[in-house]
Amino acid sequence: MHQFPSVSRRSVLKSASAGFGYLALAGLLGEQARAAEKAAPKPLGPKAPHFPAKAKRLIFVHMNGAMSHHDTFDYKPQLVKDNGKPGPGGGVLTASKFKWQQYGGTGSWFSELLPNLAKHADSMTWLRGLHTDTPAHPQAVVQLHTGSANAALTRPSLGAWLLYGLGTENQDLPGYVTVNPPPNFGGAVNYGSAFLPAHFQGTRLTDRGHLPNLRATAASDLQRKQLDLIQGMNRDLAAAPGAPDAVDGVIESFELAFQMQGKVPELLDISKEPKKVLEAYGVTDGPAGAFARQCVMARRLSEAGVRFVEICQPGWDHHNNLHKGLIDRCGSVDRPTAALLADLGARGLLDDTLVLFGSEFGRLPTSQGQDGRDHNITGYPMFLVGAGVKPGVTYGATDEYGIKAVEGRMHTTDLHATLLALMGLDHEKLTYKYAGRDFRLTDVKGNVVKEIFA
């Protein structure tokens, strides 16, 4: 008789993975997945918040690379007055070359680069006293997303913590989606689950709404049989004494992938949107088209119940060519972002959806080279719009030149604690035991800024 080699669950998964697609098996079988604890039944199912939530969903509009607030929405009269003089920390103070105007009943200042966003001035809640720890993009971006810049231990991302704490509203869709995430500045760490179970990681989409390897390569009934076989093996193995939990997250991901094959392509087909909607976002408008598609997808995903959506526009690291670069970048985000806010509002989605707009840190009011600005971690703004926050309110302030936060100072951990609170989660109670200690997004810090709560 022939001796048949023993077949492990992992080898079966590897053989079947081509039929399921969704995510590369190798990535799902990394150290983080092997360290994950055994998943509870329906681990992505809706969970009760710690207290009544002010927002059910979060959209993060990420300006990757550090958008210059000195040239967009952080007007400083003293900087204009002292233009050309030595700066307090060195360099030459350099006022923006762009024209400024006040908008709305709040009198918020915006430069001519953001005329469409400026129309939403009265709906914005400004956080103007933000600061962070490191002026290097990779560490700062990772800290913004995970709460820690420590490369020695990768932490779960904000979206993973939200999904872990709250689950998802739609079992046929991922609860956490990131669109067009940059491959650098931390890459997949920024939407990973680290030591949380793998099913809490973000699902990556391209700016055209494509999900790698999503489309089926086998008939639906065959895929269902394959998945049922693997899950049966998984249950049998899990019931055995001393059973390993290495691929539980993979099984959950395959199950979600099977469900997504029928739902996601249709959801992300923005061509079905009315022409006037696509025109409002600027989908057909050349340079703004790519980011406009992201904004439309963000609205559609949130409307469908996705808990956390991040969209990203890179290219803001203007150490030189600032003037031309800002015209290009702002031209690509102004109209689409304004349309997103208007569309969410018109559909009533801002009643339970919160939008965060900002970068990993700010830039200095001094010139770098002939036409640039260097990094600044000591003071910079972000804004919120939507559920749970007071519109037209400003919390915090920087000094007369916009260098250092001097009022209402908010560290990245304070921002995270505040976002979690708005979503109904106590940042001190949202913990996960790993390597013998309880971890949380805010580590041992974090203060909730309730002053902005509606």
pLDDT at residue 266 greater than cutoff 50: yes
Is pTM beyond 0.75? Reply is yes
pLDDT at residue 78 greater than cutoff 80: yes
Share of the chain above pLDDT 70, in %: 80
**391: burial class by Cβ within 10 Å (0-12, 13-18, 19+)?**
middle
Q: What do you get for the CA distance between the two ends of the chain, in Å?
A: 75
pLDDT at residue 213 greater than cutoff 50: yes
Element (H, E) at 362: strand 362-363
pLDDT on residue 1: 43
Contact 236, 229 (CB under 8 A): no
Closest CA to 385 of 41, 59, 11: 59
Per-residue model confidence as pLDDT tens digits over 32-49: 444 444 444 577 889 999
pLDDT on residue 43: 77
Average pLDDT in the 114-129 region? 98
Average pLDDT in the 365-377 region? 96
Lookup: tokens for 123:
């709906």
pLDDT on residue 6: 46
Contact 176, 200 (CB under 8 A): yes
pLDDT on residue 31: 42
Q: Give the residue, 137 or 208, on which the prediction is more confident.
A: 137
Q: Count the Cβ atoms, other than its own, within 10 Å of residue 407.
A: 12
Q: Count the Cβ atoms, other than its own, within 10 Å of residue 145.
A: 29
**Contacts (Cβ under 8 Å, ≥6 apart) of 23:** 203, 212, 213, 253, 257
Query: What's the rounded Cα separation, in Å, for the pair 292 and 299?
Result: 11
Per-residue model confidence as pLDDT tens digits over 51-60: 999 999 999 9
Arch. (CATH architecture) of 46-211+280-452: 3-Layer(aba) Sandwich (3.40)
pLDDT on residue 250: 54
pLDDT at residue 10 greater than cutoff 70: no
Location of structure tokens 């959801």: 267
Per-residue model confidence as pLDDT tens digits over 324-335: 999 999 999 999
Task: State the DSSP code for 9.
Answer: H
Contact 184, 22 (CB under 8 A): no
pLDDT at residue 159 greater than cutoff 60: yes
Lookup: tokens for 353:
């959806």
Query: Which of the listed ranges 48-57, 166-175, 284-293 does the model predict with the highest average pLDDT?
Result: 48-57
Contact 343, 299 (CB under 8 A): yes
| Domain spans of the chain, in order of start | 16-41+213-267, 46-211+280-452
